[in-house]
Structure 1
Amino acid sequence: MPNKISFTKRKLETLPLPPLGKRTTYFDVKAPGLAVRITATGTKTFVVYRKVNGRPERIALGRFPAVTVEQARKMAAEVNAVIAKGGNPNDKRRTQRAEITLGDLYQEYLEHHIKARGKRIKNPESYFKLYLSQWQHRKLSALKRSDVRTLHNRLGREKGHTTANKTLVLLKAMYNKAIEWELFKGETPCDGIQKLPEKSRDRFLQADELPRFFQALAEEPNETARDFFLMCLLTGARRANVLAMRWEEINFERATWTIPTTKNGEAHTVPLMPEALTLLESRRYANGESDWVFPGTGASGHLVEPKKAWARILKRAGIQDLRIHDLRRSLGSWQAATGANLSIIGKTLAHKNVSTTAIYARLNLDPVRDSMQLATRAMLEAAGVLPKAEIAEISKKKLG
């Protein structure tokens, strides 16, 4: 016969302990199914024993005295109500136990979304390791909105709004994929959290900076890095695409570079100006057997992050607050300054905008080429560099 008593705080505190390796169970006379299990070490756990759909279930409620007798009876009543409606309180717990962790989800996201689509993996890896890895052992349902909001606000204060927002975007994208892949059900912990306002960056090379920039560029001893920066400026392409430029993507006869996949997920054809072709021809004969236009010594096979060379160039040029990405913005800004409309600039830079996509689709490369030529000539003239001949000289570390 089961041990039945009326649970009180004092009575539970004075119950005898079972022999070593054994457990004793006492049932409450007031709450149906409510029991307390006692181990030989004195641990006392409230549980509810009930049959659910003909099968015996034990639903753990919590440990005494952290959970009081009154709380245990209330929890038992809620469990009994769920069972009366045909539910099983343990189903949710079993689902949670079977859930993957945030770290597991990140690996799935990295392998089956980022790498499978040929996207850059550096940024997601950096943001996860720096800001989200603290939660890598948490089950997906264990991460709460309050956790994410606290992190988002802290990163905004300490690292800046852009970093905070990119971390939020990564986490939200991971959860959305988890739902799509049927690894998680329910609301994501990112729902309802708004991005922090970001200041739009509009930095580009000004007319008075161009002569100093080209002079410093010509003096850079790292030829691969030097040519890479120049190609970023002459094509307006994203840094990642220029870094991964392959010879098979270059058509010298048509003077084009076809990027297989850009940030917007589509291929993009870039007209190559005579200055860019001159630089490429110089590199083609010097590169030997490498598949990459800008080869590197790392695992990727190509140049990865020429930060030191960039810092040297800016220091020699006396230029402040200029990023490598600003070279891309420089071409677009000089296109605008030489009369190009927004559609032409958008086509040049492979921008994907809902309101102008239809216009971009109808454009051929001729007006884009003309505009890029005007912008390139304007930049080089402002720098005091003759448009075509001097590019070859820069590549040979000679200026003027």
Structure 2
Amino acid sequence: MPEKINFTKRTLDALKPSENGKPRNVYDTAVNGLLVVVSPKGKKIFKVRKSINGETKAVYLGEYPIMTPVQARELAILVLGELVKEQIQHPVIARALGAAPSPIPNPAPNPAPNPAPSPIPSPVWVPTLQQVFHDYLKARRKLRQTTIDDYERCLRVGFPDWLSEPITAINEKKVEQRHAERSQESKARADNEARVLRSLFNFAKREYKNVHHEPLITSNPVEHLSHTRSWNKVPRKETYLSEHDLKQWLEAVNTLPQWYGGKLAAVARVYFLLVLFNGYRRTECSLLTWDKIDFERDTITLEQTKNGKRHTLPLTPATKTLLQVWQQQTPYQAGLVFRATDGERPLQHIDAVVKAIRQRTGRHWALHDLRRTFSTLAHSGGMDSYIIKRLLNHTDGSDVTLGYVISDVETKKEPLNWIADTLLEQGNL
């Protein structure tokens, strides 16, 4: 099996030459056919390798680190698209796609003199699934990076073997089988992956035309899941941390650096506590930047939110101290407040820490449980539903009274302070 890794600055920097003195080929898990060749002296070169009509072709892209992993992937997608064009021009494949007429086995014995030659249409170019995704991102420039990362994960995990295939090769039967297979591992993820694939097909139906300017893609195979009622329709979770569970959870999280250790312990501790104390969504909190925290006015603002509206909350004494201490500890005084171990990306992949806390407390929990715990605690304190919606940055078009109420930081200060004090008391912090 070829060696595969996720191409990032950290993983590529860590690659060492092969011990046998031969070039080391390492493939990317995100783009099929993209690889980096590590020479015996440590030089790293990006290439694309693909079999075209029985012949393996390798295309030089550039040298790392002059070319970044992101640049290599973008160029690789374009090169793979051109190689697919070349593959489709093969006579057998062209006929299979209906791009060239089948040969006539028995021509007429007495053809008319000087017959006009029949025009042979050019082979039809069909984009790969990877190319469709690339074009989709170019057309949807306003997508948040977290959304793009989620889409990439869905394709990389759910359909890795389809990325280099022509999109016309993906049919209803394949989609149904793959959705059933993925549902065995996770019903929610299988549905999410299928929804991403459905969006790409809807985009392709309007984006690509044949030589007659007709849609190249006429149907969406993912819609077959609705016809067969195959969607899992995972019910919305309603779990949260009870007072007993919350006490154990707070003790485990607050002492993460002592019992868990490692680079993630300190940043995960602050991140988890801020998500709980402010009722944040996990992705919104991971995109928080230092310039949106005002220690003089005691405010904290999220710019990138689910509903697109800026969300400002007051800093309570607890969250202010938490963040001030973290600012002294972290080496990054600007930009992202919570960073992954590579120091560049926002903190997102912390499943290992979540799993460790589950084992320590003996209680299964997810990050969104913290937001539901925040909401449940607010309800138990008798807070007005309007205030709770404002604290959670919820919008409700059916509640016309919300449009007539002016909300500011002062309105949120007292209820948020009460929630913070209650959490500190329950956790004996």
Q: Same fold (TM over 0.5)?
A: yes
Residue 215 (str. 1) matches residue 262 (str. 2):
no
- Identical aligned pairs, as a percentage? 22
What does the per-residue CA deviation read over 1:156-188, in whole Å, with 9 as the maximum and x for residues that have no partner? Answer: 2x0232112101211122223334545655332
Partner SS, residue 322 of structure 1: coil
**In structure 1, what is the Cα distance between the partners aligned to 2:419 and 2:105?**
80
Amino acid at match of 1:191: E
Structure 1's unaligned 5+ residue stretches are 1-32, 39-44, 59-89, 386-400
User: For structure 1, which segment, 145-154 or 218-227, has the greater mean C-alpha deviation from structure 2 after superposition?
Assistant: 145-154
Q: How does 1:146-165 map to 2 (within 5 A)?
A: 146-156=173-183, 158-165=184-191
**In structure 1, what is the Cα distance between the partners aligned to 2:139 and 2:103?**
47
Selected match of 2:118 from 41, 56, 72? 56
Flag the 1:150–1:210 CA change in 2: closer, same or farther, 3 A: same
**In structure 2, what is the Cα distance between the partners aligned to 1:351 and 1:173?**
26
**In structure 2, what is the Cα distance between the partners aligned to 1:34 and 1:305?**
53
Q: Contact 2:287–2:304 at 8 Å: present in 1 too? A: no
What does the per-residue CA deviation read over 1:93-142, in whole Å, with 9 as the maximum and x for residues that have no partner? Answer: 95xx2231212112233455378544443322221011123222333334
Q: Contact 1:255–1:277 at 8 Å: present in 2 too? A: yes
Q: Contact 1:343–1:356 at 8 Å: present in 2 too? A: no
Q: How does 1:164-243 map to 2 (within 5 A)?
A: 164-179=190-205, 181-182=207-208, 185-191=217-223, 193-194=225-226, 195-221=231-257, 222-243=265-286
Flag the 1:295–1:127 CA change in 2: closer, same or farther, 3 A: closer
Flag the 1:223–1:35 CA change in 2: closer, same or farther, 3 A: closer
**In structure 2, what is the Cα distance between the partners aligned to 1:34 and 1:111?**
37
Residue 324 (str. 1) matches residue 367 (str. 2):
yes
Report the counterpart of residue 287 of structure 1 in structure 2: 330
**In structure 2, what is the Cα distance between the partners aligned to 1:261 and 1:361?**
25
Flag the 1:367–1:123 CA change in 2: closer, same or farther, 3 A: same
Q: Contact 1:235–1:272 at 8 Å: present in 2 too? A: no
What does the per-residue CA deviation read over 1:169-217, in whole Å, with 9 as the maximum and x for residues that have no partner? Answer: 1112222333454565533222353332212211211111222222222
Flag the 1:155–1:354 CA change in 2: closer, same or farther, 3 A: farther
Flag the 1:304–1:168 CA change in 2: closer, same or farther, 3 A: closer
**In structure 2, what is the Cα distance between the partners aligned to 1:143 and 1:102?**
9
**In structure 1, what is the Cα distance between the partners aligned to 2:194 and 2:398?**
26
Aligned-residue offset at 1:331:
0.9
What does the per-residue CA deviation read over 1:217-248, in whole Å, with 9 as the maximum and x for residues that have no partner? Answer: 23211222211111111111122222232111
Selected match of 1:36 from 104, 107, 112? 104
Report the counterpart of residue 310 of structure 1 in structure 2: 354
What does the per-residue CA deviation read over 1:316-342, in whole Å, with 9 as the maximum and x for residues that have no partner? Answer: 3x2311112221221112112222344
Flag the 1:228–1:119 CA change in 2: closer, same or farther, 3 A: closer
Selected match of 2:393 from 337, 342, 350? 350
Report the counterpart of residue 109 of structure 1 in structure 2: 136
Q: Contact 1:344–1:360 at 8 Å: present in 2 too? A: no
Amino acid at match of 1:169: R
Report the counterpart of residue 136 of structure 1 in structure 2: 163
Q: Contact 2:279–2:370 at 8 Å: present in 1 too? A: yes
Partner SS, residue 270 of structure 1: strand
**In structure 2, what is the Cα distance between the partners aligned to 1:309 and 1:143?**
37
Flag the 1:343–1:145 CA change in 2: closer, same or farther, 3 A: farther
Structure 2's unaligned 5+ residue stretches are 1-100, 210-215, 258-264
Structure showing greater relative contact order (alpha-carbon pairs closer than 8 Å, 6 or more residues apart): 1
Report the counterpart of residue 248 of structure 1 in structure 2: 291
Selected match of 1:298 from 342, 351, 357? 342
Report the counterpart of residue 127 of structure 2 in structure 1: 100
Select the structure of larger CA radius of gyration.
1
Aligned-residue offset at 1:370:
3.3
**In structure 2, what is the Cα distance between the partners aligned to 1:140 and 1:109?**
13
Partner SS, residue 104 of structure 2: strand
Partner SS, residue 293 of structure 1: coil
Amino acid at match of 2:220: T
Flag the 1:178–1:265 CA change in 2: closer, same or farther, 3 A: farther
Amino acid at match of 1:236: G
Considering only aligned residues, what root-mean-square deviation do their CA atoms show, in Å?
3.3
Aligned-residue offset at 1:288:
4.7
Residue 271 (str. 1) matches residue 314 (str. 2):
yes
Amino acid at match of 1:162: A
What does the per-residue CA deviation read over 1:44-85, in whole Å, with 9 as the maximum and x for residues that have no partner? Answer: x9xxx9xxxx86146xxxxxxxxxxxxxxxxxxxxxxxxxxx
Report the counterpart of residue 339 of structure 1 in structure 2: 382
Q: How does 1:12-23 map to 2 (within 5 A)?
A: none
Q: How does 1:61-76 map to 2 (within 5 A)?
A: none
**In structure 2, what is the Cα distance between the partners aligned to 1:179 and 1:357?**
39
Report the counterpart of residue 127 of structure 1 in structure 2: 154
Instruction: Give TM-score scaled by structure 1 length.
Output: 0.65
Aligned-residue offset at 1:352:
4.7
TM superposition outliers: structure 1 runs of 4+ over 6 Å: none
Q: Contact 1:258–1:269 at 8 Å: present in 2 too? A: yes
Partner SS, residue 301 of structure 2: strand
Q: Contact 2:146–2:283 at 8 Å: present in 1 too? A: no
Equivalent residues, number: 303
**In structure 2, what is the Cα distance between the partners aligned to 1:170 and 1:114?**
16
